[in-house]
Structure 1
Amino acid sequence: MRALTIRQPWAGAIAHQSKRVENRSWKLPSKHHGARILIHAGAQRDKQAQVYGEHLDVYSAIVAVATITGCHWSNEWQCCGYWAFEKAYHWTLADVVALPEPVGATGALGFWTPKGDVLAAVETQLQAVAW
């Protein structure tokens, strides 16, 4: 399973709030459409973000799993909800499952593959959540 690094507070908003769109400057590669991905909270915060709430202070960790269901360009503000920015690619997300405990991991730009121990820790938590 691939991971995508997203700065806080956005990763936390995906995991624990209603954020179901990821704003990107680049189009989603078609091979990732429909893919189940890990949401990784990056090591740095988006200093321009003004989103507040709990679970937004976790860094360098996998915080959730989601499915990418689509991608489109939009010139409109909030075309697909509160979290959608104008003049950006909107990657739509569904089936988001927040992990009970963040799993520490060093991320990378773009999509990346976590190490085996990170994937195992995530899978253990997903199995526990399913019950």
Structure 2
Amino acid sequence: MTRTEIRGLTLRHPWAWAFQTAGKDVENRTWHPSRQGGSVGMFLALHGGSDKINSDYANEIMDALVWMEWQGCNLPSIHPNSLSAVVHSGIIAVAQLVDVRRDSPSPWAAQNQYHWCLKVTPLPEAVPHRGAQGLWTLEPEALARVRELYQAVSA
């Protein structure tokens, strides 16, 4: 991975946490990664979006956590007024895009979406970075730190 390009992908909460902690292996998107220069085999820096949570967003996060429980995910005990356990801003994992399909058997796959099937490696700490829509380029300092952390946990 040392010389391989890594593109950023920002996720809403709690989906970034689900990749990092709950075994999520599919990212659902309405668009194919090739639309923005992506391809199977590429690496993604999974980025948790802003940690600014209003009450509507908090309700959305809680609804997603209830859905995860129904799917059999082992979740921490989370109180609606304390979502810090599942809200992590910054780059929290590196994932290799191993397949893109419309019919993934994963319980994380949503209907009528492209299923980006990922092999995820959580990072031991979040790397600060501003997110963006679509696939984006990491700042050099953040890229160096992501590579360093990834190599440490992959060794």
User: Which TM-score applies when normalising by structure 1?
Assistant: 0.83
The amino acid of 2:88's aligned partner reads V
2:142 aligned with 1:118: yes
Q: Tell me if structure 2 keeps the 8 A contact 1:8–1:42.
A: yes
Which amino acid in the other structure matches residue 34 of structure 1?
G
Q: Rate the CA distance shift 1:130–1:93 in 2: closer, same or farther, 3 A.
A: closer
Residue 97 (1) aligns with residue 121 (2): yes
5 Å-filtered alignment, 1:23-102, equals 23-29=28-34, 31-43=38-50, 47=60, 49-51=63-65, 53=75, 55-59=85-89, 61-74=90-103, 79-94=104-119, 96-102=120-126
Distance 2:127 2:38 in 1: 26
Secondary structure of 1:43's counterpart equals coil
Of residues 31-40 and 45-54 in structure 1, the stretch that sits farther from structure 2 once superposed is 45-54
Greater share of helix: 2
Greater share of residues in strand = 1
> 2:81: which partner in 1?
none
**Bigger radius of gyration among the two:** 2
Cα-to-partner distance string for 1:104-125 (whole Å, 9 max, x where unaligned): 1101100001101111111221
**CA RMSD for the aligned pairs?**
2.1
Identify which range, 6-15 or 121-130, moves more after superposition: 121-130
| CA distance in 1: counterparts of 2:13 and 2:105, whole angstroms | 21
Does the 8 Å contact 2:19/2:25 carry over to 1?
Answer: yes
Q: Where in structure 1 do 4 or more consecutive aligned residues deviate above 6 Å?
A: none
Structure 1's unaligned 5+ residue stretches are none
- Between the two proteins, what is the percent identity of the paired residues? 34
> Is contact 1:2-1:38 (8 Å) kept?
yes
Q: Distance in 2 between matches of 1:42 and 1:82?
A: 23
